[in-house]
Chain A
Amino acid sequence: MQRFANERVVVQFGLLILAVALYASTFQQSFSASDLAQSPMFFPRIILTLWIGLAVVALIQTVRTQETQSPIASWPRIGVVIVAALIYTNVIGSEGFFLPSVVFALICLPAFGVRNPLLVAVFAILVPGALVFLFNHTLGMPLPTSRFTYVF
C-alpha cells in the first residue's frame, strides 16, 4: 500500500489528472477558426498530449523505482512557513505592505528557529519599515499602504 500511497505518487498522479482535465477542457471551449491547425487549441492539445504521456511514464517510474525522498525535518515549521507566505502574498494588496510584512516576519523568524524576541521584533519592524521608507517616501514608488494610514 505504501508503494501507491506516498507523496511522490500522489503528486505525480495529481499532475496526470490535471493534464487530463485541461485536455478535456479544450473541447468545451469554442472558437471561430474552422481550420484545425489554426485553432487556438491546436498547439495546447499537442503539448497537453505530451504532458499526459510523460506524466504516465513518470508515474510508472515512480511506482516501480520507489525512490527515497528527503524527509521533512519539521512538519509544523514547513506548514507555518508555507501558510504564512501564501497568506502574506494574498493580503498585501488589501492590507498594505508594511503590516502583513511585520506579521509575516514575526511568524517566519521563530519558525526558522530565532528565539530572541528582541531580535525578531527589531528585524520584523526594521526591514519592512526601511523598505517602506525607501520606496514610499524616498524613491516615490509607493508600495501598497494599509487601510488605516497612508504613511505605511
Chain B
Amino acid sequence: MLSALPEAIGILLSLEGLLVLVMGTVLGIVLGAMPGIGSTVAVAIVLPFTLTMGQAPAILLLLAVYAGSVYGGSIAAILINTPGTPQSAATCLDGYPMAQRGEAGLALGWATVASVVGGLVSAVVLIFAAPQLAAFALQFGPIETFALILLGMTCIVSVSTGSVVKGLMAGMIGIFLSTVGGDPILGEMRFTFGNWQLFAGFNLLAVVIGVFALSEVFIRASKPISRVSNLVAFSGIILPTWKMWKGRLRNLAKSVAIGNVIGVLPGTGAATAAFISYAEGRRSSPNREGFGKGEPDGIVSSEAANNAVTGGALVPTMALGIPGDAITAVMLATLTLHGITPGPKLVDDNPTLIAAIFAGFFVINILLLPLGMLLSRVAAPILRIREAFMMTAIVILCAVGIYFVRGNPFDLLVMGGAGFVGFLLRRQGVPMAPLVIGMVLGPTLELTLRQGLILTDGSFLAFFTGHPIALVLALAALLALSLPLLRSLLSRTAS
C-alpha cells in the first residue's frame, strides 16, 4: 500500500481532490450542525452526487462529510443545547452551561481541538490496523468469507436500538430485498412479478435515502413543530491556550483511546463512545467536580471520543467489509455502487484508492481546525433556520440526487416507497441500520453460501469441519448473537 502513496497523494493534491476534501468538510460541518439531520442523513443526502465522480473523490467526499458532521454536531450542542448529531449529546452537558456563562467561543475551541486530536489519532489507527487485518483476511476462500459475513451480520444485534428481534427482522427484510432481481449464479429472475424495472433489483441508494432521509422528514412531520430560538451570544471560536491544557491531557488521551477501541468494535457507534468516555472522565478527571456545570474536560471527553470513533469504525469496514454502524453501512453501499467489492481483498485490489482514503482521512481531520473556526460563525445563523425549510429542501435534494444516479424515474418511486415504509417501521421501533446492512451484505452472503455448497458437495457441516478459520468465525458469530439475547433474558428473569 505504501508504494501507492505517491499516486494517492497526487489524487489528493489534484483540484478535484482538494475541492472534494474542503467542500465535503464544509458540508459535513454545516449539515452536522443542523439539529436532527445527523451524520447518517448528511451522508445519505450527499451520496447520490458522488456517483458522477471517480471512486477516490467519491469516498473522500463522504468521509469528509462524515468527519465534518460529527464535529458539526458539537456546534449546535454548545450554542443551542440541541445536539446536531446523537454523538454530540454528551457535549451538551458541559458545552451549553459554558456557553450560558458567556464562554461559547472557548467551549467550541475545546470541542474543536479535542475533535481534531481524536480524529487524527483515529486516522493513524486506521492506517496501521486496517492493512494488517486485511492481510490476514486474504487467506479467506468463499467458505471463510461466508463465515465472516455471518459474523458481520451479528453487528445487526448491536445496532438494533430498542428491540433485537425487530432489528434482526429488519436485517432479514434487507437481505430479502437484495435477492430481488437476477440470481447471482444462474441469472434467473426472482420476485420481479413480471415488472422489468425490478430485473436489476432495488436500487440500493434509493432504499438507503428513502429509509434514512425521507423517513426522517415524515418522522419530523409527525412531531410537534420545533422552533429553535435559544441561541446564546457567540462571536467566534477561542482556542484554549497550552497553559489551559495542563492537567487535562491525560483525560484527552484516555478519551481518544476509548473512542478508537469502541470504534473498531462493530455496532457500538460514536454516541456510545462519547457517553462512555464522558462517564470515565467524570470518574477519573481531576476536574470531575465541575462536570455538568460547564467543565471543559466534559467537552473534551465527549468530542475526542466521538471523533476518534470515525477512523476506528472504518477499520472493520475497509479491512473486512463489515459495517460497524449505519454510516459505515452507507459507506459500504457507496463502495458497491462504485463497482468496488467490499471485503478482505479491498485493500489488496485497490491499493491506490485505499492509500488515498487513508491519507485523505488524515487531511480531513487537519482541515477540521481551520474550517471549524471559520464555519462556526456561519453555522450559528444557520441554526435559526426553521425546520420547515430544511425538511422541504431535504426532499427536493433527495429527489435530485436519486434521479442523477441512473436517470430512472422508477428509482424515485422506490425512494418514496422506502421512505413511507421506513417511517412506518421506525414508528414501530424497527431500526433501519440493520435493513441497510442486510441489503449490503446479503448478495455476498448468498453468493459465498452457494459457492461453498458447490465446493463441499452440498454439505453445510463441511463448512466448519474442514475450515478452522470459518469455524472460529462462526463460533464468534454465534457468541455475538447469543450474548445480548442471553443478557436480556437473564435481566428479565432477574427482574
Closest to B446 in A: A43
B218 contacts across to A, CB distance below 8 A:
78, 81-82, 85
B400 contacts across to A, CB distance below 8 A:
97, 131, 135, 143
* Interface residue B412 (Cβ < 8 Å from any Cβ of A): yes
Asked if A93 and B409 sit within 8 Å, CB to CB, the answer is yes
* Interface residue A112 (Cβ < 8 Å from any Cβ of B): yes
| Per-residue interface assignment for chain B, residues 193 to 214, with 1 indicating a CB less than 8 Å from any chain A CB and 0 otherwise | 1000000000000000000001
Asked if B428 and A51 sit within 8 Å, CB to CB, the answer is no
Q: How many angstroms between the C-alpha atoms of A113 and B224 in the bound complex?
A: 10
Q: How many angstroms between the C-alpha atoms of A61 and B429 in the bound complex?
A: 12
* Interface residue B234 (Cβ < 8 Å from any Cβ of A): no
Asked if B393 and A89 sit within 8 Å, CB to CB, the answer is no
User: Given A38-B185, A72-B222, A81-B218 in contact, is the A109-B403 Cβ separation under 8 Å?
Assistant: no
* Interface residue B389 (Cβ < 8 Å from any Cβ of A): yes
User: Given A7-B428, A61-B165 in contact, is the A33-B449 Cβ separation under 8 Å?
Assistant: no
In whole Å, how far is A53's beta carbon from the nearest beta carbon of chain B?
9
* Interface residue A133 (Cβ < 8 Å from any Cβ of B): no
* Interface residue B217 (Cβ < 8 Å from any Cβ of A): yes
Chain B interface extent, by class: 35 or more
Asked if B186 and A105 sit within 8 Å, CB to CB, the answer is no
* Interface residue A114 (Cβ < 8 Å from any Cβ of B): yes
In whole Å, how far is A109's beta carbon from the nearest beta carbon of chain B?
5
| Per-residue interface assignment for chain A, residues 128 to 150, with 1 indicating a CB less than 8 Å from any chain B CB and 0 otherwise | 10010001000001011000000
Which of A51, A69, A111, A135 counts the most B-chain CB atoms under 10 A from its CB? A51
| Per-residue interface assignment for chain A, residues 27 to 48, with 1 indicating a CB less than 8 Å from any chain B CB and 0 otherwise | 0010111010110111110011
Asked if A89 and B169 sit within 8 Å, CB to CB, the answer is no
Asked if B391 and A108 sit within 8 Å, CB to CB, the answer is yes
> Can you spell out 8 A-B residue pairs with CB atoms less than 8 angstroms apart?
A38-B450, A40-B190, A51-B169, A54-B169, A72-B222, A93-B409, A104-B396, A143-B403
Residues of B near any A CB (own CB < 8 A):
52, 163, 165-166, 168-169, 172-173, 175-176, 179, 183, 185-186, 188, 190-191, 193, 214, 217-218, 221-225, 386-389, 391-393, 395-397, 399-400, 403-404, 409, 412-413, 415-417, 419-420, 423-425, 427-429, 442, 445-446, 449-450, 453-454, 458
Residues of A near any B CB (own CB < 8 A):
7-8, 11-12, 15, 22, 25, 29, 31-33, 35, 37-38, 40-44, 47-48, 50-51, 54-55, 57-58, 61-62, 67, 69-70, 72-74, 77-78, 81-82, 85-86, 88-90, 92-94, 97, 101, 104-105, 108-109, 111-114, 123, 127-128, 131, 135, 141, 143-144
